């Protein structure tokens, strides 16, 4: 699809060299947000390749993008899992959980999303740390993948721990294996790898006397908090990529605010990566629960419309 698409539309990538397309030709903007590929990785978890040259050209590990499925949609942040600046695409992985993601799945290859913007947030603070541990849970595994890949490229010794509820919900195992020196898999029910949580595996490594200079974790709030608690006092640098609710994504609305070291910061522009030991996890969990009732209403309406 990508090759056909590029053949059809010619190559007008965003570049900073002479006579670039910065500022956007009409054609470019008309194609931005087109779905190039869509794959169901496992039940309810999808990978989508989007044509977004101006985002891809500037993307860094740890950053995210915003999309709106249609004119009436929400502005939803998505971690960029992979990208290619010359071909002009980005990959996202999402779990179908609510109105937006169900609508997203309803779109297929060739369809165009209403709006995409990015890259957003600060790049991950990857660098040469030596021995590092990278932890991903659920759809946090694809999200942590570009961080692990960059760390590996930078010459770190990468130990990865990835986890899911059951083996069927586990994604990106192969990809993580490619960029890790060691890979540990956990499932809550023991259907694959170790039985337990990623934080249990981390505790095991540390009890065995393994040492790490840095840790990254991306996943559910509870998982990141648990890993942070286990690592406290043992791993000097610990980073977590937060999943706050967002609206604007550019630092003006304050929806994604989080208390870090007693200061109110914004996940979208000050993060999404913060030093995990400084994050007020309890507050983050509270704010994530803000719209549980409304989300049900929205879903019910969507499902009702489907029945008609």
Partner 1 sequence: MSKVGKRIQARTRPACERVKDFNEVELVINEEEAIREAARDIKYCVAPCMNRGCPVNVEIPTMLKLVSQGKIKEAYESLITRTPVPSITGRVCQQEVQCEGSCVLDRLGEPIAIGAIEKFVGDWALENGIEVAVSSQKKGKSVAVVGSGPAGIVVASELQRAGYDVTVFEAFHEPGGVLTYGIPEFRLPKRIVRREFEKLKNIGVKLELGAVIGTTYTVDELLKNFNAVFLGVGAGRPMFLNAPGENYANIYTANEFLTRVNLMKSYKFPEYDTPLHIGRKVAVIGAGNTAMDAARSALRLGAETYIIYRRGRAEMTGRAVEVHHAEEEGVKFMFYSSPSEFLAADGINVSGIKIMKMKPGEPDRTGRPRPVPTGEIVNFDVDMVITAIGFYPNPLIPGMTPGLKTDDHGRVVVDLEGRTSISGVYAGGDIVTGESTVIEAMGWGRRVAKTINRDLSRT
Give the residues lining the site for partner 1 (CB under 8 A): 16, 20, 22-24, 29, 32, 54-55, 58, 63, 68, 72-75, 99-100, 103, 114-120, 247-255, 257-259, 264, 266, 269, 283, 286-287, 289-291, 294-295, 297-298, 301
Closest to partner 1 by CB, 56 vs 139, is 56
Contacts of 288 (CB under 8 A, 6+ apart): 221, 243, 244, 245
Q: For the CB of residue 93, give the shortest distance to partner 1 in the complex, in Å.
A: 21
Cβ 301 to partner 1 shortest distance, Å: 4
State in angstroms the smallest separation of the CB of 134 from partner 1. 24
Nearest-angstrom CA–CA distance, 151 and 61: 10
Nearer to partner 1, 8 or 292 (CB): 292
CB of 158 to partner 1, least distance (A): 27
In angstroms, the CA 151 to CA 130 distance is 9
CB of residue 223 to partner 1, shortest distance in Å? 20
Q: CB under 8 Å to 18, separation ≥6 — which residues?
A: none
Residue with Cβ nearer partner 1 (9 or 234): 9
Least spacing, CB of residue 143 vs partner 1, in Å = 18
Q: Which is nearer to partner 1, 9 or 287 (CB)?
A: 287
Structure-block tokens of residue 272: 């999404």
Provide the token pair at 223. 């998982």
Closer Cβ to partner 1, 1 or 117, answer by number: 117
Return the residue matching tokens 């996940």: 267
Nearest to 147 by CA among 165, 169, 172, 184: 172
Only one residue has tokens 């990208």, namely 83
- Crossing angle of helices 221-231/281-288, nearest 10°? 170
**Residue 265, strand partner residues:** 258
Q: Which is nearer to partner 1, 80 or 205 (CB)?
A: 80
């Amino acid at each position: 699809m990508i090759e056909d698409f590029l053949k059809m539309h010619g190559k007008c990538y965003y570049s900073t060299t002479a006579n670039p397309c910065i500022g956007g030709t009409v054609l470019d903007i008309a194609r931005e947000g087109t779905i190039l590929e869509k794959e169901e990785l496992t039940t309810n978890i999808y990978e989508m390749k989007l044509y977004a040259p101006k985002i891809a050209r500037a993307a860094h590990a740890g950053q995210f993008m915003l999309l709106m499925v249609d004119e009436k949609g929400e502005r939803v942040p998505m971690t960029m899992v992979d990208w290619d600046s010359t071909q002009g695409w980005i990959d996202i992985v999402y779990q179908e959980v609510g109105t937006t993601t169900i609508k997203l799945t309803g779109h297929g290859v060739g369809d165009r999303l209403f709006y995409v913007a990015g890259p957003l947030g600060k790049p991950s603070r990857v660098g040469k740390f030596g021995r590092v541990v990278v932890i991903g849970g659920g759809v946090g595994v694809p999200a942590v993948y570009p961080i692990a890949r960059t760390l590996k490229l930078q010459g770190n010794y990468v130990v990865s721990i990835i986890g899911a509820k059951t083996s069927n919900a586990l994604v990106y195992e192969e990809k993580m294996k490619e960029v890790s020196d060691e890979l540990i898999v956990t499932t809550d029910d023991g259907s694959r790898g170790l039985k337990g949580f990623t934080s249990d595996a981390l505790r095991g490594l540390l009890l065995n006397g393994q040492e790490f200079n840095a840790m990254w974790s991306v996943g559910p709030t509870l998982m990141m908090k648990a890993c942070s608690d286990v690592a406290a006092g043992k791993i000097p640098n610990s980073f977590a990529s937060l999943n706050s609710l967002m609206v604007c994504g550019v630092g003006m609305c304050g929806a994604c605010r989080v208390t870090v070291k007693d200061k109110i910061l914004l996940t979208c522009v000050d993060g999404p990566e913060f030093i995990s030991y400084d994050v007020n996890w309890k507050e983050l969990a509270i704010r994530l629960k803000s719209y549980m009732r409304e989300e049900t209403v929205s879903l019910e309406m969507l499902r009702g419309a489907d029945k008609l």
